[in-house]
Structure 1
Amino acid sequence: MELREIQIFLTLAEELHFGRTADRLHVSPARVSQVIKKQERAIGAELFKRTSRNVQLTPVGEQLRDGLAAGYQQIQEALATAAAAGREITGELRVGYSAAWCGNLVVAAADIFRSRHPDCLVHIQDSQLHDPLGPLRDGSRDLQLIELPIDEPDIVNGPVFFSEPRALAVPADHPFAERETVSLEDLAEAPMITVSGQPPYLLDFHYPQRTPKGRPIPRGPSTTAWQEVLALVGAGKGVSPTSARAADYYSRPDVAYVPFRDAPPVEYGLLWPATGNTPKVRAFVRTVVETAALQAGAVRSGRTAPGRV
């Protein structure tokens, strides 16, 4: 039984008059009669006793009315609450991202979000590696989809959308470029190019100072942007860990990407300020979750290439 048909039944049960029911619901009396007959056929019993003078509920009709009324009221209240929340989603929403594949997901989610909330303008911006949390703290960003881990009392960690195997970006003429894989122990053999300005624990996770066996990892130049990292690697100034997917998005003739065989993955998740848990932020998070699920389903069915997720 569809929601509209439930509404027709409950209204007739209240009015006990086909004409008044039709007027209230802006349908024809014939439509009301058609719906009731359909319900009676489905249930296998009369719901109303009809005479030329009046309409009365049968015992089965009374039972159905009592069973449906509370649930229908809850549905109406839920719809009203959702509509009220939707009206709150106005103004602007500023969303940052780091890696290109994060940007693809954010852009796709923003398209869906705009179609649902046309009164809310979504600004999408590239996040800087050297200051991943600054824009969230100074109010210039509402959300960011960036590398983890992030462990800050004033920042909310939302869903994780990507868990990517790691690779080592090396100069194309470096001996590592000839290998099928590298190990974390190999980091002791080449200067590591790092990104400055990140929280210490984030730097330690992505740019460790020692190998698992305790060997020191030499430091190369430090920079503030990913394209600068690649330029330094291509110039032979060192190597730098990254996501293996970077090979698909940041291909350069002077840089090779060699997969790690023993490094933990790089995860990417949504972050937002603890003080910024607004209806539009929650709505955008839900939209990103839905969009990621749709894209994953498209990949599984072969409708798109994995690199576009």
Structure 2
Amino acid sequence: MERHEAEIFLALADELHFGRTAEKLRVSQARVSQVLKRLERTIGAPLFDRTSRRVALTPLGRQLHTELAPLHAELTAVLHRAKATARGVDGVLAVGFLGSGAGQLTRDIQRTFRERAPGCEVRLREVQFADPLGPLRAGEVDVLFTRLPVEEPDLTVGPTVVSEPRVLAVPCHHPLAHRDSVSLEDAAGERFFGVTGGAPAYWWDAQVPRRTAGGAVLERGQDVSTFQEMLSMIAACQGVSPVDASMATYYARPDLAYVPLTDVPDSEVALVWRTGGTNARSEAYIGAVRDAVAAHGGPLAL
């Protein structure tokens, strides 16, 4: 049995539908039928019962599937490992992330990357918004999931992985805490936060605007350097801040409330890397991210 015959048989056994099998393997339905007929002639008996309404495995087909599937999976893994070694993708890849990073897409990205580079260890490292790009520039991480915008000539912005609305983080007993929604105009009299460190001014201004859409100035108070520090300050009634909606899930606290914001654009997370500074491992990871986003139908919308 040739490898392409095994792939078509196993895919059809999983899908039990010629059209879905052809789409999954990116071949024509005629190709699936031709290969299956040739395989059945070689074996000498039908592997599927086929009618106009259903496709089902015969007893012999079920036996072949049970014995062939693990062998094919092991062969595929062996080939992936050989290709990974040939491309030089074994080793360690440091992936930086800000906040919740790629969120729920992380699992799909990791699975896709492991299939392509099983000999590469991925090490995740959190970065802080006081200097979100510093670890990438210093080579402490190879690629970075961070909030946009990133407008730096030495950095390349890759695929967007998450797009989500913003919320206003306030103390749980704040007058705005129990509103269904709020605008920055409503919060114009509140104190917001600055940031200390190496974050570009335009980047922090995109996270915490200096003015409302109507032109009201948003007062900046104490500088903060980490997200947890900012949340503690908010809980202590030292200020409020726009944050991404997923923070209500990943950083839920009984002393805080997260109120939907109506007058700010959605926040986006993208993969970023050093321009001209990629290697085989990071290129493979970038490809895995692109394919995971494409398989999802675009950036994760929260």
Q: Shorter-chain TM-score: which interval?
A: 0.5 to 0.7
Structure 1 residue 296 displacement after superposition:
6.5
Shift of 1:104: 4.7
| Cα pair 1:96 1:143 within 8 Å, conserved | yes
- Please give the alpha-carbon distance, in whole angstroms, between the structure 2 residues aligned to 1:38 and 1:232: 70
**Contact between 2:169 and 2:256, CA under 8 Å: does it hold in 1?**
yes
Q: Report what 1:164 is aligned to.
A: 164
Which SS does the other structure have where 1:176 is aligned? coil
Q: How many residues align?
A: 231
Which residue of 1 is the match for residue 128 of structure 2?
Answer: 128
The root-mean-square deviation of aligned C-alpha atoms, in Å, is 3.1
Structure 1, gaps ≥5 residues long = 6-34, 42-78, 300-305
Whole-angstrom CA distance in 1 between matches of 2:211 and 2:109: 39
Alignment check: 8 A CA contact 1:146 1:270 kept: yes
Identical aligned residues as a percent: 42
Q: Indicate the residue corresponding to 1:143 in structure 2.
A: 143
Change (3 A) 1:85 1:151: farther
Structure having the larger proportion of residues in helix = 1
Q: What are the Cα deviations for residues 210-243 of structure 1, in whole angstroms up to 9, with x where unaligned? A: 2222221112221110011110111111101111
- Which letter maps to 2:152? E
- Aligned twin of 2:232: 231
Residue 161 of structure 1 and its aligned partner are, at CA, apart by: 0.9
Which of structures 1 and 2 has the bigger CA Rg? 1
Aligned to 2:260: 259
Q: Does 1:93 align with 2:103?
A: no
| TM value normalised by structure 1 | 0.67
1:71 corresponds to: none
1:17 counterpart residue number: none
Q: How does 1:17-32 map to 2 (within 5 A)?
A: none
Residue equivalent to 1:44: none
Name the aligned partner's letter for residue 177 of structure 2.
A
For 1:221 and 1:131, locate their aligned partners in 2 and report how far apart those are by CA, in whole Å.
Answer: 17
Q: Which amino acid aligns with 1:199?
A: P
Residues 268-309 of structure 1: per-residue CA shift (max 9 Å, x gap): 000000021322212101212333455669x9xxxxxx98xx
What does residue range 76-225 of structure 1 map to in structure 2 within 5 Å? 83=83, 86-100=86-100, 102=102, 104-106=104-106, 108-197=108-197, 198-225=199-226
Q: Secondary structure at the match of 1:178?
A: coil
Which residue pairs with 2:9 in the alignment?
none
Please give the alpha-carbon distance, in whole angstroms, between the structure 1 residues aligned to 2:132 and 2:293: 22
Q: Distance in 1 between matches of 2:38 and 2:266?
A: 57
TM-score (norm. length: structure 2): 0.68
Q: CA deviation at 1:107?
A: 5.1
How much does 1:209 deviate?
1.5
